[in-house]
Amino acid sequence: MDFTFTEEQQAATEAAKAVFSGVVPDGVPSPALVPGAVAEDIDRPLWAGLASGDLLSLTLSPEHGGAGLDLVALCLVLRESAKVLARVPLLETCAVAMALQRYGNPRLAAELLPRVGRGELVLTAGANGRTGHDPAELAVTARREAAAGTDAGAGAGSDGAGAGGGADSDGGWVLDGTQSAVPWAQAADWIAIPAHIDEGRAVVALIQPAQDGVTLAEQVSTSGERFAEVRLESVRVDGQALIDEPGAWEWLRALLTTGTCALALGLGEAVLAMTSQYTGKREQFGFPVATFQSVAVQTADRYIDLRAMEVTLWQAAWRISTGAAGALPAEGDIAVAKIWASDGVRRVVQTAQHLHGGFGADTDYPLHRFHAWAKQIELSLGPAAAHEEALGDLLAAHLLG
C-alpha cells in the first residue's frame, strides 16, 4: 500500500501544525475541577487562525473560495488538532459544509459556504439521536407542509439565507423530535439535523438555534465541552434548507465517523509521545523505566495499536474520497476504522495512565485531559461494539468469495 500524501495534503498538514503550535491543552480549566463546562464558547482566536490559514475552506471547491481538497486532507488536519485538544468544531463544520456542497441547494451553498471558509459561520451536526444507541435519523421526524400559505423558517436569524420562506421556497417542512449531545450547538450558526420522512428514508435539515420551536438544553461532554440537547417542536424549514437527496445523511455520517477516527489517532500519538518522554526520564533502581522489559512491551503494543488505527483510517478516508470499489461497501472500511479507533485510543490512554503512575491523575499534568477526550472520542458516533455489529451485518449481506 502506498500512503504517500500529495503535495497539497502535505502542505495542509504543515499549515495545521503552524496554526496549532500555539495551542496548549491546559488553556482552560480542567474538566475534573469544574462542575460544568470548561468554557462558555469555542476557542475563537484559534477559529480565526484556522480561517486565516485557509484550513476552514480546505475541502470547499474553488467556486466557494476553497482549495478543493478531499477527506484525506481534512483528516490530516484533524489529526494535528487532536494532539493539542483543539476546542473548535473543525470536524463538524467541515463535514456539514462538504455535505451542503455535494447535496444541498446550490443557492444556499453559494451564500453560506464562502462565509464558512472565512470563519464567519460555525456549523455542527446532531449525530447521536435521542439516546446515542438508536440511529440518529429516527429521533426526528420531518413532514412536508404545503407551500401555499406557509411561513417556512419562521423565526430564523438574519445572518443567513435559506431559513426564511419566499418565492424561491420549494415548500416547507416541519420537524419534531430531539437530538442529544450536539457538539458546541450554543456556538453554532447552523445545525444539521438528520430526520426521517414518511417514505422511510433519511433527510438532513439545516436549522438555526434562534428559530421558533428550537430549544437548546445544556449538556456537558466527558471532555468538559458545551454540548446541547436540541429539542424541535414544529420547527419549520423551507425546501432549500432541507437536503433530501438519497444518501446525503449516510455520507455526512461517514465523514463524521471517519473524522472522529482521525481525532483518535492524533490524540493517541500525542499521548504515546508524552508517555515515552516521561518513562525515558523517570528512573527506578538507577535506570530509566523505559528500559524495563515490561514497560517496553506495553509501549510497543500501543505503537502497534496506533499503526493499525492509522492504516484503517486512511483506507476508510480513501474509499470515501475516491468512491473506489471493494469487497464490501465503504461502510465496512469505516466500521473497521472506528473499531480500531475506539478500542485503540482507549488502550493507549489506559497504558499511559498506568506507566505514569500518580502523575497520570495529577490535575496539574495534562494527561488526565487527554484521557477525558479519549473517552469522549471512543463513544462518539458509536463505540466499537456498535460498529462490530454493523460490520457483521455487512459481512452477512455481502458474501466474500
Count CB neighbours of 53 within 10 A: 18
Return the residue matching grid coordinates 420531518.
Answer: 142
148-204-230 Cα angle (round to 5): 95
Q: What is the pLDDT of residue 401?
A: 62
Q: What is the largest CA-CA distance in the chain?
A: 82
The whole-angstrom separation of Cα 304 and Cα 310 is: 10
- For CA atoms 383, 299, 76, 374, give the dihedral sign: positive
Q: What is the pLDDT of residue 363?
A: 92
Return the residue matching grid coordinates 516521561.
Answer: 278
Q: What is the pLDDT of residue 284?
A: 80
Dump pLDDT digits (tens) for 72-119.
999 999 999 999 999 999 999 999 999 999 999 999 999 999 999 999
Q: What is the pLDDT of residue 313?
A: 98
Dump pLDDT digits (tens) for 191-243.
999 999 988 899 999 999 999 999 999 999 999 999 999 999 999 999 999 99
Q: What is the DSSP string of 320-354?
A: HHH----SS-HHHHHHHHHHHHHHHHHHHHHHHHH
Count CB neighbours of 399 within 10 A: 7
Count CB neighbours of 397 within 10 A: 9
**Global confidence as pTM:** 0.93
Phi, psi of 132 (to 5 degrees): 90, -5
Give the residue ranges of the chain where pLDDT is below 50. 149-169
The whole-angstrom separation of Cα 165 and Cα 163 is: 7
54-55-60 Cα angle (round to 5): 85
Q: With contact defined as beta carbons under 8 Å apart, do 203 and 131 qualify? A: no
Q: With contact defined as beta carbons under 8 Å apart, do 122 and 176 qualify? A: no
Q: With contact defined as beta carbons under 8 Å apart, do 298 and 355 qualify? A: yes
Q: What is the pLDDT of residue 145?
A: 86
DSSP state of 218: E
Cα distances from 354 to residues 125, 278, 350, 358, in angstroms, run 35, 12, 6, 8
- For 68: left if phi > 0, alpha if psi spans -120 to 50, otherwise beta; the answer is left
The whole-angstrom separation of Cα 305 and Cα 261 is: 13
Count CB neighbours of 339 within 10 A: 23
